Amino acid sequence: MRIVIYGALALLATILQMGLVPHVLVLGQGPTLVVVVVVAVGLLYGPTEGVWAGGVAGALTDLLLGGPWGLATLAYMAVGYVSGRFAWARGRVRAAAALVLSAAAAAAVRAVGIVALRAGGGHVWLPGLVPGPEGLVYTAVLTPFLIAVLDGRVGPSRRAAQTHET
């Protein structure tokens, strides 16, 4: 079931990335919505869910790109896992932490994208998937808002805390 949910979320993020983001650019840069989704899920629901979300979102990205498979999947799984571990370690999610983590995740995905470009030759990432500095900030700012939407608020995550306690 969660594959379907995360798949739908990743699909929605991808569609918005391709359709909406080019219309809401700031200084010519847009956010990386897939990163926003994976980080938000990881922070809210823990590392396992983060890995699932990252895996589904990465697989979808790999599928759409038509280039080498596996690298985006691995990258997003790592992002989801680290986000989930971060939530576990802290027990609660704050907006500032979400900002920093999502910016770091977007930068990591950018680095992986560069690697893929060099390794794959002709591998093309989705528009906005390899953001510049402004795109990193944009991505970071959006993450707390998605967390608020998914969880109903920005701040301590009850679900992550409960998962941590169990």
Partner 1 sequence: MSRPPGPWRQIAVAVLVAVLLAVFVVTRHGTSITRRLASVANTVIVPVAGAVGRGATIARADLRYLKGLEHAQQTITLLRAELAQARYTELRERAAVSQDQTLRALLHLRQDLQLPTVAADVVGLSPASWWESLELDRGTANGVVDGAPVIAPGGVVGRVQSASSHVSTVMLLANGQSGIGVKDLRSGSLGVALGNSVPQRLTVDFFSPTASVRPGDELVTSGLGGVFPSGLAVARVVSVGVGPTGLVAASAQPSVDPTSLQSVLVMKVPAP
Interacting residues with partner 1 (CB under 8 A): 11, 14-20, 22-24, 60, 63-71, 73-74, 88, 119-123, 164
* CA-wise closest residue to 49 among 158, 163, 165: 163
CB of 133 to partner 1, least distance (A): 24
20 contacts: CB under 8 Å, gap ≥ 6: none
Give the three-state DSSP class for 16.
helix
Is the Cβ of residue 35 or residue 87 nearer to partner 1 in the bound state? 87
Give the three-state DSSP class for 11.
helix
CB of 165 to partner 1, least distance (A): 9
Is the Cβ of residue 95 or residue 124 nearer to partner 1 in the bound state? 124
Is the Cβ of residue 4 or residue 152 nearer to partner 1 in the bound state? 4
What's the rounded Cα separation, in Å, for the pair 158 and 61? 30
CB of 42 to partner 1, least distance (A): 14
